[in-house]
Amino acid sequence: MILLVFLASILILLVTIYQYDEQTHDYNLQRFERKESTAIQIIELELSNKTTYPISTENLYKIFKERIYEISSINKLNISMYDLHGNLLVSSKTNAFEKTTIEPLEYDLLIELAQNSNHRILKTREEDGTSYQTSFIYINDPKFKRIGIVEMQLTQDNSEVEYELREFISRLSLVYLLMFVIAISLAYFLSSYITKSIKSISDKMQQTRLNQRNEKILLDASSSEIEILVEAYNNMIDQLEESAAKLAKSEREQAWREMAKQVAHEIKNPLTPMRLTVQSFERKFNPKDDHIKEKLSEFTNTLIQQIDLMSAIASAFSDFAKMPTQNKEEIEVINVIKLALDIFNEENIQFKTSKTKLYAYLDKTQLIRIVTNLVKNAIQATEEVQNPKIIVDVTSEIGILKIDVSDNGKGIADEFKELIFEPKFTTKTSGMGLGLAMIKSIIEAYDGTISFVSEKNKGTTFTVTLPKNHNSKQQHNEF
């Protein structure tokens, strides 16, 4: 709306200026033509009735020597007479007190005048608010024979017209300034009224979440278009809540199905050898056999191993299902990690740190579980490597404990990198794929992070960062 008012103002202003210029030009031209016509009639009347000299080119000077000033004064024109070759004969521009030099007419102008069908040439120009009209016409004797050329020139001052134009534009500008202010005010109130309802809808849309209850929009008064939009939004909220409930139910059911399938699969693995062992024992059982005690012991050991495996499977799922509980206490990290590495008793495991003592507020058991899981994965990744090497590097930054576990194993393929922390994902032939998912859950519970860099057939480095949350008394031992 504001733009339309502004463009209309500019357009009307330009049209007004153009119209004034055209009217001024037409008025000046018509005024000059009236004066020119009157002067020509006086000249013709002078040649026809009043003069006693023979009508010829040579006598034009004698006839109009004094009369030309009177004709010029009556019509307020500058009049000059030339012979047919363009030489000046007499002019109202000259007088006895002021010597004025008037050049002969140009040859091109004489040719143009002769070729013009009206035998008249009009030239106009404007300079510094003043317009100049000049015409050249043949002078004829009573028998219509050309005897000379008359030049008439009118100088018109347009300053008054331009002043009126400026006055009109200033008044018009005030009117349009008022309209512009009204348009801005009207546009502001209209846009505020229109966008008030739209902003309410926008705010509600920004607050819309799939995992929480969303409020519907209630407006007291609004346009029909806004009401349609609000109704569509409220219907969307109803459908969204219904879809969210169905999705949550479906995800829970899918999660239970996947977990049940995983548990069933893991339990079936030890059940098969247990069944075969029982069947073999039943078939080969002989109470009179001299080695019956050894066979019975072997049989029970096999069953106990499989039962222990099933118990470990149940414990692993149980540990994963429950959120790790934190028992934060101040621990000396270096000794705890060394203790975790002593379990493996592997010569190819190297421990590196520049610290002698490093304190942090963590759960000792969970820190050991993080280190042992990462080292165990590194050992399994280097099983087929000729010279396996595993490096555990512990560093400290301000407020941060950093643990790097590197190996030179087979690495992680690109297609598996996004799935590496997913529960039930594993590239090994045995195991449940819960180790990395479990330690990630532990690390994130401390507001820490775990990431990795891996290159196929060159190795993998897992990086764990944990906040130390230590107090100032330990800083002199760490830095």
Residues 368 and 274 in one domain: no
pLDDT at site 432: 39
In tens, the pLDDT along 190-211 reads 877 777 767 767 676 666 665 5
Within a domain: 172: no
Name the most confidently modeled range: 50-54, 184-188, 222-226: 184-188
pLDDT at position 470 over 70: no
Q: What is the mean pLDDT of residues 19-40?
A: 86
Compute the half-sphere exposure of residue 189: CA atoms within 13 Å on the CB side of its CA.
5
Domain boundary among 137, 165, 193: 165
Within a domain: 171: no
pLDDT at site 477: 40
The helix (H) or strand (E) run that includes residue 81 is strand 78-82
pLDDT at position 463 over 90: yes
Residues 345 and 308 in one domain: no
Number of domains in the chain: 3
pLDDT at position 471 over 60: no
pLDDT band at 317 (very low <50, low <70, confident <90, very high): low
Amino acid identity, position 210: L
Within a domain: 131: yes
pLDDT band at 17 (very low <50, low <70, confident <90, very high): confident
Closest to 240 (Cα-Cα) out of 252, 248, 229: 248
Q: In what order do the strands lie in the sheet with 120-127?
A: 88-91, 78-82, 146-157, 130-140, 120-127
Residues 284 and 353 in one domain: no
Within a domain: 124: yes
pLDDT at site 318: 62
Residues 358 and 457 in one domain: yes
pLDDT at site 269: 60
pLDDT at site 476: 35
pLDDT at site 392: 93
Residues 372 and 272 in one domain: no
pLDDT at site 449: 92
Residues 13 and 161 in one domain: yes
Terminus-to-terminus CA distance in the chain, angstroms?
68
CATH code of the domain containing 92: 3.30.450.20
Residues 317 and 365 in one domain: no
Domain boundary among 322, 356, 374: 322
pLDDT band at 32 (very low <50, low <70, confident <90, very high): confident
The more confident residue out of 149 and 246 is 149
pLDDT band at 433 (very low <50, low <70, confident <90, very high): very low
In tens, the pLDDT along 84-116 reads 888 988 888 876 445 567 788 888 888 888 888
Q: What is the mean pLDDT of residues 173-186?
A: 85
Residues 316 and 351 in one domain: no
Rounded (to 5) percent helix, strand, coil in the chain: 55, 20, 25
pLDDT at site 124: 84
Q: What is the mean pLDDT of residues 394-406?
A: 90
pLDDT at site 266: 61
pLDDT at position 264 over 90: no
Q: What is the mean pLDDT of residues 336-356?
A: 84
The residues near 457 (Cβ < 8 Å, ≥ 6 apart) are: 410, 411
Residues 284 and 349 in one domain: no
CATH code of the domain containing 458: 3.30.565.10
Q: In the chain, count of helices (H) and strands (E)?
A: 11, 12
pLDDT at site 68: 87
Residues 300 and 430 in one domain: no
Within a domain: 179: no
Residues 236 and 93 in one domain: no
Task: Compute CA 404 distance to the chain's CA centroid, rounded to the nearest angstrom.
Answer: 41
Domain boundary among 322, 355, 388: 322
pLDDT at position 179 over 60: yes
Whether the Cβ atoms of residue 82 and residue 146 lie closer than 8 Å to each other:
no
Residue 210 to residue 228: CA distance in whole angstroms: 23
Within a domain: 20: yes
Phi, psi torsion values for 222, nearest 5 degrees: -160, 170
Within a domain: 221: yes
Mean pLDDT of the chain: 79
Name the most confidently modeled range: 87-101, 272-286, 382-396: 382-396
Task: Compute CA 441 distance to the chain's CA centroid, rounded to the nearest angstrom.
Answer: 38
pLDDT band at 224 (very low <50, low <70, confident <90, very high): low
Residues 316 and 334 in one domain: no
Residue 14 to residue 12: CA distance in whole angstroms: 5
pLDDT band at 462 (very low <50, low <70, confident <90, very high): very high
Within a domain: 188: no
Range in 96-100, 218-222, 399-403 with the lowest mean pLDDT = 96-100
In tens, the pLDDT along 139-156 reads 888 888 888 999 998 887
Closest to 358 (Cα-Cα) out of 228, 267, 477: 477
Residue 134 to residue 122: CA distance in whole angstroms: 6
Residue 473's domain spans which residues? 329-478
In tens, the pLDDT along 434-461 reads 568 778 888 888 889 999 998 888 899 9
